[in-house]
Structure 1
Amino acid sequence: MPKPDLTHFYPLAVCVLTVSDSRTEHNDCSGALLCDALQTAGHNLVGRALLPNNKYLLRAQLSHWIASDLVQVVLINGGTGYAKNNCTIAAITPLLDSTVPGFGELFRQLSYQDVGSAALQSGALAGLANDTLIFAMPGSGSACQLAMQQLILPQLSGKTGPCNFVAHVKHSPSQTCGA
């Protein structure tokens, strides 16, 4: 399938996953922040879930989204730190076909400006699995805001140069050249 014309904005199909043992649908402020930011930017929210810190439940949900032709991007918040029960990074890593090391590196660099050396404990990971782009970030609202505004949303726009991830994710027929 031809790649999209990268001079245009294409709304991507995105799922949001919150990993937490304490949050509920009613108090998942970070998940809501991610959904709002995506939709404000013009992307389509096609799925949302909230799961406990259980790597097998996470892998099952992620595998379902990765296998779907309808999901292009997955955003995960929570479960990335060094608490004993946090398992997001361990759950995701075996599913990835390739990693994007720069996401974690840049996230920690930007976090350092706000939280100092505590940024060392900020788990952030990105990669591709079956042409689905996956971002995992800490669950705090400030971490989600930083990741979305400074790193993720610019990379989900075909207009961001000199490069972005739009050309690397699955594409629907309406996103091909000349459509």
Structure 2
Amino acid sequence: MEATLAGIDESREFVAINIAVLTVSDTREAHNDTSGDVLAGRIDAKGHKLYERKILPDDQVVLRKQLAAWCSNPDVDVIITTGGTGVTGRDVTVEAHRALYEKEIPGFGELFRWISFQKIGTSTVQSRATAGVCMGTYMFALPGSTGACKDAWDDILTYQLDIRHRPCNFVELMPRLLEV
């Protein structure tokens, strides 16, 4: 039996999806939101649509409200947050995400930390990057550094959010996320 290698199947047509980006920070504003800029630029370069982009403070109630609003919007396919995934008292993004998850995707955080370990060593243990599904919407929580956003997008999300990626990807599962 011949092994199937991972890669983009150019014979399939690309499908653009709608992605909302949320920067979680008490200090970032539009002019210095470098991590949000990285994500927005990569989303556009890949051919996806930046549905909406916001910056909100590290407040779990405010975050949950925004995440829930996007999850309940059928026009939003994916939510990517950046910031608030550390271990300090103000880092509440992971808790806001997990309060909404119907299904967690533990492999995302595991893979992210493996990739990150190769670049920043054991400091990666401070990241609580996570992913899950809420109301048929994928949610990804990334650290707030531009390097972490580049790593997550370039090494994971660019492939998993491309329906042409083989042997499988998140986009081809979207029609089935709400199955009962």
| TM-score, normalised relative to structure 1 | 0.90
* TM alignment of 1:90-169, pairs within 5 A: 90-169=95-174
The question of whether the paired residues in 2 share the 8 Å contact of 1:75 and 1:134 is answered with yes
Q: Which amino acid aligns with 1:71?
A: V
Structure 1 segments unaligned to the other structure (5+ residues): 1-5, 172-179
Separation (CA, whole Å) in 1 of partners of 2:50 and 2:117: 30
Residue number among 61, 76, 82 corresponding to 1:71 in the alignment: 76
Q: Which amino acid aligns with 2:148?
A: A
* TM alignment of 1:166-177, pairs within 5 A: 166-169=171-174
Separation (CA, whole Å) in 2 of partners of 1:103 and 1:60: 23
- Percent of paired sites with the same residue: 40
* 1:17 partnered with 2:11: no
The question of whether the paired residues in 2 share the 8 Å contact of 1:72 and 1:170 is answered with no
Q: Which amino acid aligns with 1:33?
A: V
Number of aligned positions between the proteins: 166
**SS of 2:165 mapped into structure 1:** coil
C-alpha RMSD over aligned residues: 1.3
* 1:32 partnered with 2:55: no
Separation (CA, whole Å) in 1 of partners of 2:122 and 2:90: 22
Separation (CA, whole Å) in 2 of partners of 1:141 and 1:69: 29
| TM-score, normalised relative to structure 2 | 0.89
Structure 2 segments unaligned to the other structure (5+ residues): 1-10
Separation (CA, whole Å) in 2 of partners of 1:99 and 1:26: 33
List structure 1 runs of 4+ shifted beyond 3 angstroms. Answer: none
Separation (CA, whole Å) in 1 of partners of 2:44 and 2:135: 24
Cα distance per residue 1:147-167 (max 9 Å; x no partner)? 000001110001111110002
**SS of 2:79 mapped into structure 1:** strand
- The alpha carbon displacement at 1:143 in A equals 0.3
- The alpha carbon displacement at 1:83 in A equals 1.5
- The alpha carbon displacement at 1:168 in A equals 2.5
- The alpha carbon displacement at 1:94 in A equals 1.4
- The alpha carbon displacement at 1:170 in A equals 5.4
